[in-house]
């Protein structure tokens, strides 16, 4: 029985690849430095089942592949060739000869590195040899499942957090100090990076890729990325990466018509076309595509120690009608609009990831009402463990953009989310998508005069940090960037020279610190027992009050939010326990730019019934403010 091809490929691996079950196919396909006998060189392997011939062209043969023709590995659709005498840094592409005689030059789908754009070649790269120093982080991850842990995510586009000059980017190594130290000082638990795979167009932000296994060369080398992640882990910061299995760009050197025929995309153009983005959808029913994508997700965890992935645009994968004109809409075999192959793929993806990495973060960016996104697959769910709460985000931004005088008529926008808060394991996202393309920055969404905008943003952030669900904030939001995100320019760091923005940054830091210290704000994010309304119905005054609990410790915090411009010098609110309540935060505090210069340290309850409780406290509730109080058990009083 033949167990290996002439270049050493395992026939068993190729069989699993064809079946959709080669979970680490990047170890088999692509360009690998190796030794055959006494000769050292590179073994190339590529899947191109419909090509008439495949060659390797590169800087070592004048980009003429006729002298390096690959051999077919049986009937697997894989072509292979060992080329001695070349090694690290070699530039190459695959020269496809199609069945109708055309020649195509394609980048390697499994390339570990790529030329800096505008170059398009793949680069032979050795990923071995890096000595990781994050054992303590990995052990802590295994010991602390994420559901009952704090999660404060700082979302970053590496190409515009800071810039040295036009298209002069900071490297992974430089960011491993500047960015990581900044995030650590502000108290974030995770960094989420916009997609890292190689892409030809800066303004796609990485969401339209050509190199799924190739960290973009804009910011340096693969080893530089390893050092970046390692430094994050040493500072106690997890790393999440946006991942894009829904579609890929149509650039000639990329995956589209890879061997002259639809291969990674489906053969039905109605299914393959993504007209909104000008891209092609993956053919999720094709088993080799499954091997490619699942291996890619695992690759970032295996090789770069990425802690989790946010799967982009899940709704566009599962709905055959998503953003398609009527002439491109199709149905499944039952006449419905669910993409059954995509659904099956997502379930298989999550099952596989959690098999290898039980504590990984698998986060769905899903704008639909698909049920059970974060339910296990054995219960009929898609198998993710977190989902972005797009409903909360849309309702709250709509509410906060209103003039306060209009808010009493829309009170349900800030209260409705609790009706479904426990249907999924939610992350509350204030992401890049909400501060670009004319949507304005979070600060500039707020109505009113300059000072009122800051007051309302402080109020909004306090409600966001107090609401059930993990948290995500896009860069610049922490200091109240006034202009919307400009993806080819750095953040407006100069505004920190103005007091209001400096106050906002300090407020965010304080809010993050408070969140991390108060387990009631995160320990029961996904259990209804962790939340209780005090007063949900005070729409006339646009005031809400509620309790967050840590059911394990019995500790709880009380929140009161005033979304109106009315000052309430003596506002009475019911509390569940007799005793003292320490004031943890008043968003109107003058040291954060508010109007309250005299802030009490706490309040004592009185035996005055209110809001269904036997005891209550009376406090000053400034306009456009949010107060957070912690009950102090008797031993602490």
Per-residue pLDDT band for 37 (boundaries 50, 70, 90) equals confident
Show the domains of the chain with their CATH numbers.
Answer: 11-123 (2.60.40.10), 153-245+283-518 (3.20.20.80), 528-636 (2.60.40.1180)
Per-residue pLDDT band for 394 (boundaries 50, 70, 90) equals very high
In this prediction, residues 484-492 reach a mean pLDDT of 95
User: What is the reported pLDDT for 182?
Assistant: 98
Radius of gyration of the chain (CA): 27
Whole-angstrom Cα distance, residue 196 to residue 206? 6
State whether residue 314 is helix, strand or coil: helix
Is pLDDT at 1 greater than 90 in this prediction?
Answer: no
Q: What are the pLDDT digits (tens) for 454-482?
A: 999 999 999 999 999 999 999 999 999 99
Which tokens go with 237?
Answer: 């910061």
Is pLDDT at 55 greater than 70 in this prediction?
Answer: yes
Is pLDDT at 634 greater than 80 in this prediction?
Answer: no
Q: Which of 303, 435, 359 is nearest to 149 (CA)?
A: 359
Strand partners, 34: 41
Instruction: Tell me if 271 sits within 8 A of 280, measured CB to CB.
Output: no
Whole-angstrom Cα distance, residue 202 to residue 445? 26
Is pLDDT at 348 greater than 80 in this prediction?
Answer: yes
Q: Active site includes 259?
A: no
User: What is the reported pLDDT for 635?
Assistant: 58
User: What is the reported pLDDT for 327?
Assistant: 93
Per-residue pLDDT band for 308 (boundaries 50, 70, 90) equals very high
Q: What are the pLDDT digits (tens) for 239-265?
A: 999 999 999 999 999 999 999 999 999
User: What is the reported pLDDT for 526?
Assistant: 97
The one catalytic residue among 95, 365, 424, 550: 365
User: What is the reported pLDDT for 636?
Assistant: 58
Is pLDDT at 2 greater than 60 in this prediction?
Answer: no
Is pLDDT at 288 greater than 90 in this prediction?
Answer: yes
Q: What are the pLDDT digits (tens) for 406-455?
A: 999 999 999 999 999 999 999 999 999 999 999 999 999 999 999 999 99
User: What is the reported pLDDT for 8?
Assistant: 73
DSSP-derived letter for residue 456 is: H
Q: Active site includes 365?
A: yes
Instruction: Tell me if 469 sits within 8 A of 428, measured CB to CB.
Output: yes
Q: What are the pLDDT digits (tens) for 512-565?
A: 999 999 999 999 999 999 999 999 999 999 999 999 999 999 999 999 999 999
Q: What's the Cα-to-Cα distance from 468 to each of 164, 394, 601, rounded to whole Å?
A: 39, 16, 26
The residue to which tokens 């609009």 are assigned: 337
Whole-angstrom Cα distance, residue 71 to residue 131? 36
Averaged pLDDT of the chain: 96
Per-residue pLDDT band for 7 (boundaries 50, 70, 90) equals low
> ∠ at Cα 294 (293, 296), nearest 5°?
65
Which tokens go with 248?
Answer: 């890929």
Backbone angles phi and psi of 280, in degrees to 5? -115, 145
The one catalytic residue among 230, 312, 341, 478: 312
Q: Which residues contact 624 (CB under 8 A, 6 or more apart)?
A: 404, 452, 455, 456, 459, 562, 563, 564, 565, 588
Instruction: Tell me if 32 sits within 8 A of 56, measured CB to CB.
Output: no
Q: What's the Cα-to-Cα distance from 62 to each of 90, 131, 253, 589, rounded to whole Å?
A: 12, 36, 18, 68
- Give percent above pLDDT 70 in the chain: 99
Is pLDDT at 4 greater than 80 in this prediction?
Answer: no
Q: Which of 116, 127, 126, 218 is nearest to 172 (CA)?
A: 218
């Amino acid at each position: 029985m033949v167990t290996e091809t002439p270049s050493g490929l395992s026939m068993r691996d190729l069989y699993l690849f064809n079946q959709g079950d080669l979970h680490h196919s990047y170890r088999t396909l692509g360009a690998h430095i190796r030794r055959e006998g006494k000769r050292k060189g590179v073994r190339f392997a590529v899947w191109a089942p419909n090509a008439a011939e495949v060659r390797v062209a590169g800087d070592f043969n004048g980009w003429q592949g006729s002298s390096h023709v690959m051999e077919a590995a049986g009937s697997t659709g894989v072509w292979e060739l060992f080329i001695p005498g070349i090694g690290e840094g070699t530039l190459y592409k695959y020269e496809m000869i199609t069945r109708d005689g055309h020649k195509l030059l394609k980048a390697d789908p499994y390339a570990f590195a790529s030329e800096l754009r505008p170059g398009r070649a793949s680069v032979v790269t050795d990923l071995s040899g890096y000595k990781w120093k994050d054992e303590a982080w990995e052990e802590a991850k295994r010991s602390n499942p994420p559901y009952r842990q704090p999660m404060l995510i700082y979302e970053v586009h590496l190409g515009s957090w800071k810039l040295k000059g036009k298209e002069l980017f900071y490297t992974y190594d430089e960011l491993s100090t500047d960015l990581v130290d900044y995030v650590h000082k502000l108290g974030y638990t995770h960094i989420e990076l916009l997609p890292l795979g190689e892409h030809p167009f800066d303004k796609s932000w990485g969401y339209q890729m050509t190199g799924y296994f190739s960290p973009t060369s804009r910011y340096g080398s693969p080893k530089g990325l390893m050092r970046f992640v390692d430094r994050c882990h040493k500072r106690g910061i997890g790393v999440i990466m946006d991942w894009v299995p829904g579609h890929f760009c149509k650039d000639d050197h990329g995956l589209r018509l890879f061997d002259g025929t639809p291969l990674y995309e489906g053969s039905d153009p109605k299914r393959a076309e993504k007209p909104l983005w000008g891209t092609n959808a993956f053919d999720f029913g094709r088993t080799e595509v499954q091997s490619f994508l699942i291996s890619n997700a695992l690759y970032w965890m295996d090789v770069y120690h990425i802690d989790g992935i946010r799967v982009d645009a899940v709704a566009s994968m599962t709905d055959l009608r998503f953003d398609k004109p009527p002439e491109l809409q199709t149905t499944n075999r039952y006449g419905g609009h669910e993409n059954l192959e995509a659904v099956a793929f997502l379930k298989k993806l999550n099952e596989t990831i959690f098999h290898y990495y039980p504590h990984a973060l698998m986060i769905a960016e899903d704008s639909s009402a698909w049920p059970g996104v974060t339910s296990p697959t054995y219960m009929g769910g898609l198998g993710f463990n977190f989902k972005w709460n797009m409903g909360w985000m849309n309702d709250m931004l709509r509410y906060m953009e209103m003039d306060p005088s209009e808010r009493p008529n829309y009170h349900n926008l800030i209260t409705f989310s609790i009706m479904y808060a426990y249907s999924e394991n939610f992350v509350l996202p204030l992401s890049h998508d909400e501060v670009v393309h004319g949507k304005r920055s979070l600060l500039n969404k707020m109505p009113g005069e300059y000072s009122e905008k800051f007051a309302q943003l402080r109020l909004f952030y306090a409600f966001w940090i107090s609401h059930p669900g993990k948290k995500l904030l896009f860069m610049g939001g922490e200091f109240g960037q006034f202009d919307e995100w400009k993806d080819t320019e750095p953040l407006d760091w100069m505004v920190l020279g103005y007091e209001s923005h400096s106050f906002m940054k300090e407020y965010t830091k304080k809010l993050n610190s408070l969140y991390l210290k108060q387990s009631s704000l995160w320990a029961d994010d996904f259990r209804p027992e962790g939340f209780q309304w005090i007063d949900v119905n005070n729409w006339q005054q646009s005031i809400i009050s509620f309790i967050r609990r840590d059911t394990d410790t019995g500790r709880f915090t009380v929140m009161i939010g005033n979304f109106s411009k009315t000052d309430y010098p003596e506002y009475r609110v019911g509390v569940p326990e007799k005793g003292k309540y320490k004031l943890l935060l008043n968003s109107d505090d003058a040291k954060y730019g508010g109007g309250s210069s005299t802030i009490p340290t706490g309040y004592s309850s009185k035996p005055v019934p209110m809001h269904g409780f036997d005891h209550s406290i009376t406090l000053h509730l400034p306009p456009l403010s949010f107060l957070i109080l912690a009950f102090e058990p008797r031993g602490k009083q």
